[in-house]
Structure 1
Amino acid sequence: MQIKFIPLALPLALTLACAAGARAQEVVKIGHVAATSGPSAHLGKEDELGAKMAVEDLNAQGFKINGKAVKFVLLPEDDAADPKQGAAAAQKLVDAKINGIIGHQNSGTTIPASKIYFDAGIPQISASATSPVYTRQGYNTAFRVVANDNKLGGTLGKYAVTKLGAKRIAVIDDRTAYGQGVASEFAKAAKGPGVSIVAKEFTTDKATDFNAILTKIKSKNPDLVFFGGMDGVGGPLLRQMKALGIKAKYMGGDGICSESLPKLAGGADESVTCAEAGGVTADKKKDLEDFAARFRKKYNMEVQIYAPYAYDAVMTMATAMANAKSADPAKYLPFLHKVQYQGVTGPISFDKYGDINNGALTLYTYKDNKRTVLEVVK
């Protein structure tokens, strides 16, 4: 009789593999896209680190979905503020089967990418894209945690006339979806007795020489210049305004409203007014200050604008997943539409378009080259 020996190692290995599979932790993949190269790289990296900090906090606290701890991972991509590169990044993340996307940073890349996420059924929360077009395309996957340009540009236009007394206004934009949008809304709202838009000029989001358009603007003798664009262009523009002896006040949206503006502009003072699409009331001020201190300690980097909003965007998405008891995009998307989350930037919930309810704006100026709050407007 032949005796067959059955190797003990095989069933033992199978047993261990099955046990490991039973214990395997679910991985939740969060995509993030921003301009981490190019003139806005400092803002894009800050945005990315805000999302990274949220992911690390979720993992540290053992965040659970349907009673089971999950592991969040961040998949960051750079779109260089270029729409084509943004679309490619979006498709790459869709192919990676992400559970959700935070971004994009710029409206010009967010808008074309939003169709790719919508077609794939993947929820998208932007922490910074302010163009109204983004949430008016009929895509139920599109959300944002900051006020849009209708409010941002409109508030700045009214403020320029009623509070700063502007009468002769020059408007410049960088031809991006964000820059054109916020400049257009500003111009619509900058109305009043004796008020006129004396010049409308445009540049690009990669430009460095503004001498030609500023020489034309100087001949119009404006008392205020509004720029629609980011600080990587807006700072050097202000520097060259001063070099040409243009004495006008300078104003812009959240794109220029950064801690880096004074360095980029060779100094910034109370002649500069800008607004951030977001802001906190007095009762939330300490939460935001604590976040900024923790961010500084963790990354050796100051909060510029977007980090706390990217952080809250991740946390809002995770809350919807917990409420749905699933990280499956199709299952938690309906819960995102009715989410209620108390973030470091304030309460977050969305209207029927995906815009934040009661979005705040913070108006700033600069004193001793430091950004200083003027007021929070809701």
Structure 2
Amino acid sequence: MTIAATMMLFAAHSAVAQDKIVIGLSTPLTGSVAALGQHENWGASLAVEEINDAGGINGRQLHIEAQDNQCNPTQGITSVENLLQNDPIAVMGALCSSVTLAVMPIMERAERPLMVGVATSPLITEQAGVGGNDWTFRINPSDSGLAVALGNYLTEMNTIKTIAFVGEDTDYGRGGHNALTEALKGKGIEIVSADFYKQGTPDFTTVLTRIKAAKPDAVALYATGVDELGFIRQYRGMNIESLLSGRVSLDELLPVIQAGALEGATSVYPYAVQLDTPENKAFVESFKTAYGELPNYQSFQGYESVRVLADALKRSKELTPAGLKQALKEADFASVTGGNIKFDDHNQAHNLALIVKVKDGVIVIETMSGT
């Protein structure tokens, strides 16, 4: 190949690359919650594929660039700094609340939108929009909104008066405890104990022994990944009779549920694969076809995040980060859940909260409420 031909080929490749609209994704692709990060990546990739097949954004193709943050704040900062080198119009992430809080200032200095779709710490809302960081937008409910829905449900049960709280020692776990404590005020339900564990804890015997002796009416669990599975296995192994509730990832525990070990357990969550909307049925079918698995909360939020960004890009007067930010502030997007994505003055959306329960070995949606 001649030098001239090589230069022409390089120019053609450069033109194609420049024609793409890059969206960064910071998510854990290794470590204890890597499976959740992989699902977020899958959901985002599915949405990009669907949007590109439909013509892209004004004829331009979307492209997802993913970086591993290991659910670690330091690595999260590195991942976002690496993503910014590729000139993304926005970054999605960072799944874990502590990592999200760490990268928010990086995105603010870079003056590019950060789309939060999984992390639930109330601190993210407090610090976003009029809280100071006008470049952070969250489409999923915070733990404050979810806790209100859970508190109302537990109150209506009229059988829960005492709760033992167990959560990871992160912004997610501690934020969940604070939110649930606030939501239960005046409802006649008391959190009688609170235990926080380090991520990667293999043995919960000491905590579970105290809980079994105290006999609370319920245990509110705020855990993720392998820690959640390990806790639940030991919880059931010790035959603790307290109702298991909180933010339990029931969709990640199907083998345990099918074995009959979690009968009666409840959870508050922003998504369930059982949602009976045409949009969700189509999403579930497309996801299963693409990846051979059912989607979960993380894959749903990856999918929804890209779709919200794409909607804003189509409405944006200019395809720039600043133009995208303004379009996000004006969003009124129909969610797969049947709710709507609109941002308040803290750039926080208020999609639906679902109360899900294990009945006869399957997950059912008990009720839905706003947040």
In the superposition, the TM-score normalised over structure 1's length comes to 0.87
The Cα shift of 1:187 comes to 2.4
Helix, strand or coil: the match of 1:366? strand
- C-alpha deviations, 1:244-264, integer Å up to 9, x for none? 2211000122xx323222436
Cα 1:267/1:176, change in 2 over 3 Å: farther
8 Å contact from structure 1 (residues 81, 106) kept in 2? yes
Alpha-carbon offset, residue 309 of structure 1: 2.3
The one-letter amino acid of 1:289's match is: K
Aligned residue runs from structure 1 range 1-378, under 5 A: 26-65=19-58, 69-137=59-127, 138-163=132-157, 165-191=159-185, 195-253=189-247, 256-263=248-255, 267-278=260-271, 285-346=277-338, 347-356=340-349, 358-378=350-370
* Corresponding residue pairs, total: 363
Distance 2:9 2:195 in 1: 69
C-alpha deviations, 1:213-268, integer Å up to 9, x for none? 11112221212111122253222212212222211000122xx3232224368654
Displacement after TM superposition at 1:153 (Å): 1.7
Query: What's the offset of the Cα at 1:12?
Result: 9.3
Unaligned runs of 5+ in 1: 1-8
Shift of 1:342: 2.4
Aligned pair in 2 of structure 1 residues 228, 220: CA closer, same or farther (>3 Å)? same
Give the drift of 1:100.
0.8
CA contact under 8 A between 1:280 and 1:360: conserved in structure 2? no
- Percent identity over the alignment is 26
> Contact conserved, 1:198 with 1:220, CA < 8 A, in 2?
no
Paired residues of 1:309 and 1:345 also in contact (CA < 8 A): no
Distance 1:12 1:231 in 2: 51
Question: Which protein is bigger by CA-based radius of gyration?
Answer: 1
Gaps of 5+ in 2: none
Q: Shift of the alpha carbon at 1:86?
A: 1.0
Displacement of 1:148: 1.0
C-alpha distance in 1, partners of 2:353/2:286?
A: 23
Determine the C-alpha separation between the residues in 1 that align with 2:69 and 2:25.
10
Give the TM-score of the pair, scaled to structure 2.
0.89
Segment drifting more, 225-234 vs 290-299:
225-234
Provide Cα deviations, 1:323-373, integer angstroms capped at 9, x if missing partner. 2243321222111111222232342221111111x4210110123443221
Amino acid aligned to 1:198: V
Higher mean C-alpha displacement, 139-148 vs 319-328:
319-328
- Matches of 1:98 and 1:15 in 2, distance apart? 26
- The alpha carbon displacement at 1:194 in A equals 5.8
SS class of match (2:200): coil
Q: Cα deviations across residues 160-205 of structure 1 (Å, max 9, x unaligned)? A: 2332521221111111111111122112323457643222212122
SS at match of 1:147: coil
Shift of 1:124: 1.2
Q: CA RMSD in A?
A: 2.7
TM-aligned CA distance change 1:281 to 1:376, over 3 Å: farther
Q: How far apart, CA to CA, are the structure 2 residues paired with 1:160 and 1:16?
A: 64
